[in-house]
Amino acid sequence: MKATYHKHILDFKRPSGTSRGILKQKETWFIHLIDGEKQGIGECGILRSLSIDDVPDYEEKLRWTCENIYLGKEVLLKELRTFPSIQFGVEQAFLSIQSENPFLLQPSKFTEGKEAIDINGLIWMGDAAFMKSQIKDKLKAGFSCIKMKIGAIDFDTELELLQSIRKEYSVNDIELRVDANGAFTPSTALEKLKRLSEFELHSIEQPIKQGQLEEMAALCKVTPLPIALDEELIGVFNIEEKKKVLEVIQPQYIILKPSLVGGYAGSSEWISLANKQNIDWWITSALESNIGLNAIAQWTYTLQSNLPQGLGTGSLYTNNFDSPLTIQNGALQYDIAKSWNVPFIKK
């Protein structure tokens, strides 16, 4: 079996704002396996400035992985413990090459086009007019759950946007989630959560920066609004450390991005620990191309969560790969009438 890696720069259709800045491009990498006539593909979806494996020797580690592919999946996953995005790429690639179709990793009613995955509609940061137009578009597209990025523009303006949604749509009509990406300070977070809770929100992701376990624990204890940990899970590799994070903070939810927390195996560890503590969870993509999104979606469907998932990022780019993944009526679907087009995968 031979392995090679490829870099691909994804271009956003329009600059997308987060509290960490404006995104215009997204770098991603692929591991490509060839064994005779069989091929496998896996995406290593690194997120610069957020991924724990955003290090100078990232490409060197990819090269090492391809040169040592003969070691097999289990050995590689152990060796790549501090490179969660490459771990996930390896998991996908081995699953892919073992499948009849390199893109059909976990066959199900989802991949047969018979069932869909409910997802949240993502509202990117920007000025009030831009955010309002996004909200209207998502509601028109049939989404019943909307996730809004907050923390980059004036907080009162964000509250006004939420108020305008709630004036028109009750909590029974639209579920609202917000994501602060750690934008609040521990001293102001509780007051802001109180004001946000007036709009009957489902939850808030990562109100304060990760790594402040005691402060986050204190917040989760008294919050009027359910808190979901996101960035807090990044870089926590050891199962005992994962257990400690959940036991100390006791969040209402955790959010799992396989590319950032060690793929299927790393995410499954978090889910198992969360279930033991009655902490609910959902899965989110991390701006992968359709290749990584496909791998996350097929696995997510098998988990049978009853919450809307965060898998709506495939349509953000001008140069994504053609795939059967489509969004209809606020749900991710697999359109079996559509085919894949990935240049380095021979048909």
Is 257 designated active site?
yes
Catalytic residue among 147, 149, 192, 242: 149
Beta-carbon contacts of residue 21 (< 8 Å; ≥ 6 apart): none
Catalytic residue among 61, 138, 192, 257: 257
| The pLDDT value given to residue 168 | 84
Using one digit for the tens of pLDDT, what is the confidence trace for 190-246?
A: 999 999 999 999 999 999 999 999 999 999 999 999 999 999 999 999 999 999 999
| The pLDDT value given to residue 126 | 74
Using one digit for the tens of pLDDT, what is the confidence trace for 118-141?
A: 999 988 877 778 878 888 888 888
Token couple for 115: 């069932």
Q: How far apart are CA 270 and CA 205, in angstroms?
A: 17
Identify whether the C-beta of residue 290 lies closer than 8 Å to the C-beta of residue 296.
no
**DSSP string over 26-64:** EEEEEEEEEETTEEEEEEE---TTTSTT--TTHHHHHHH
Q: In the chain, where does DSSP find H-type helix?
A: 58-67, 73-79, 84-97, 128-140, 155-168, 186-197, 213-222, 239-249, 258-261, 263-276, 290-303
Name residue 30's beta-bridge partners.
6, 43
Domains in the chain (CATH in brackets) are 2-97 (3.30.390.10), 117-334 (3.20.20.120)
| The pLDDT value given to residue 18 | 62
Work out the angle at residue 318's Cα, subtended by the Cα atoms of residues 313 and 319, and round it to the nearest 5 degrees.
95
| The pLDDT value given to residue 88 | 98
Length of the chain, in residues: 347
| The pLDDT value given to residue 347 | 59
Is 7 designated active site?
no
For the chain, list residues with pLDDT below 50.
none
| The pLDDT value given to residue 207 | 96
Q: How far apart are CA 298 and CA 291, in angstroms?
A: 11
Identify whether the C-beta of residue 272 lies closer than 8 Å to the C-beta of residue 303.
no
